[in-house]
Amino acid sequence: MKLDEVTISRAILSEQHKIMTEYLDIDCAVVGGGPSGITCAAILAQNGVKVALIEKKLSIGGGMWGGGMMFPRIVVQEEARRLLDHFGIKYTEYEKGYYVASSVEAVSKSLAAACDAGAEVFNLTTVEDVVVKEDGGVSGLVINWTAVEMAGLHIDPLTMRTKVTVDATGHDSMIAHMVRKKGGALEIKGEGFMWAERAETNILSHTKEVFPGLIVAGMAANAVGGETRMGPIFGGMLLSGEKAANMIIERLKK
């Protein structure tokens, strides 16, 4: 067939313009494309929620790509094995209850599931600020190109309206920090010493709404809750993403 560069360019512009315009008003924004964010977005989309997964980097997957000390393997414990199965990720058993998977496969399979289900991904997108109005809760995100910040440019952002936002930005818990820095009543206790077992046990209780309209998940949940550090075991991360998704599904039903 005959190929025309301008048509290719217009195809890209038009399709993405449609998506961007439509996704400025959504049910849920999940900020941070690591394991808990991907899991959360996948399960939300699988349940019909209009969800955007916002990631500041070019690629999705965050720290999961690198496994432990650059050896690209992750460990998942018994309790979360069913989520590996849910996403179709292969694993081997190292010792009883310790399952080892390829970190690359873990990223690609869970992300493929999210895309399949209709989650829309906004990569290279930075959240600069949040919208908080009369009702005192987070009702939107102020977004910009990550490249604008990387290039040191001074450019105004745009705004996306959300019913609920998930902070899955890892131990930086960036959305929670934005809220607190501008005066929101929200305590951030910070991550504790390394103690994987305690961290894995408690992460689900830290996965909750910490400010009206803002739910924390994954390492951000533990960082806000003052929990210990977990290292390269990923079961709690996946379960936390799942729990956040389920909380939102319940809330949106009302």
The torsion of the CA quartet 220, 38, 78, 196, rounded to 10 degrees, works out to -20
As measured in angstroms, the least distance from the Cβ of 10 to its own copies is 6
Structure tokens at 24: 């400025």
DSSP β-bridge partners for residue 75: 100, 233
Q: Is 54 annotated as a binding residue?
A: no
Nearer to its own copies, 77 or 246 (CB): 77
Q: Is 97 annotated as a binding residue?
A: no
Rounded to a whole number of angstroms, the CA Rg of the chain reads 18
Q: Contact with its own copies (CB under 8 A): which of 48, 82, 197, 205?
A: 197
Q: Is 135 annotated as a binding residue?
A: no
Q: Is 55 annotated as a binding residue?
A: yes
**Residue 109 is a binding residue for its own copies (CB under 8 A):** yes
**Residue 74 is a binding residue for its own copies (CB under 8 A):** yes
- Count residues binding its own copies (CB under 8 A): 106
Per CB under 8 A, contacts with its own copies among 126-145 are 129-133, 140, 142-145
Q: Contact with its own copies (CB under 8 A): which of 215, 233, 239, 248?
A: 233
Nearer to its own copies, 107 or 247 (CB): 107
Residue 96 and residue 227: Cα distance in Å, rounded? Answer: 26
Distances (CA, A) of 29 to 83, 124, 200, 213: 22, 15, 25, 11
Residue 213 and residue 136: Cα distance in Å, rounded? Answer: 9
DSSP run (H or E) holding 201: helix 196-206
DSSP run (H or E) holding 74: strand 73-77
Q: Is 229 annotated as a binding residue?
A: yes
Distances (CA, A) of 64 to 60, 75, 110: 10, 11, 11
Nearer to its own copies, 69 or 253 (CB): 69
Nearer to its own copies, 154 or 254 (CB): 154
Per CB under 8 A, contacts with its own copies among 49-68 are 57-63, 65-68
Contacts of 180 (CB under 8 A, 6+ apart): 186, 187, 188
Q: Contact with its own copies (CB under 8 A): which of 156, 250, 253, 254?
A: 156
**Residue 116 is a binding residue for its own copies (CB under 8 A):** yes
As measured in angstroms, the least distance from the Cβ of 163 to its own copies is 13
**Residue 117 is a binding residue for its own copies (CB under 8 A):** no
**Residue 155 is a binding residue for its own copies (CB under 8 A):** yes
Q: What length does the chain have?
A: 254
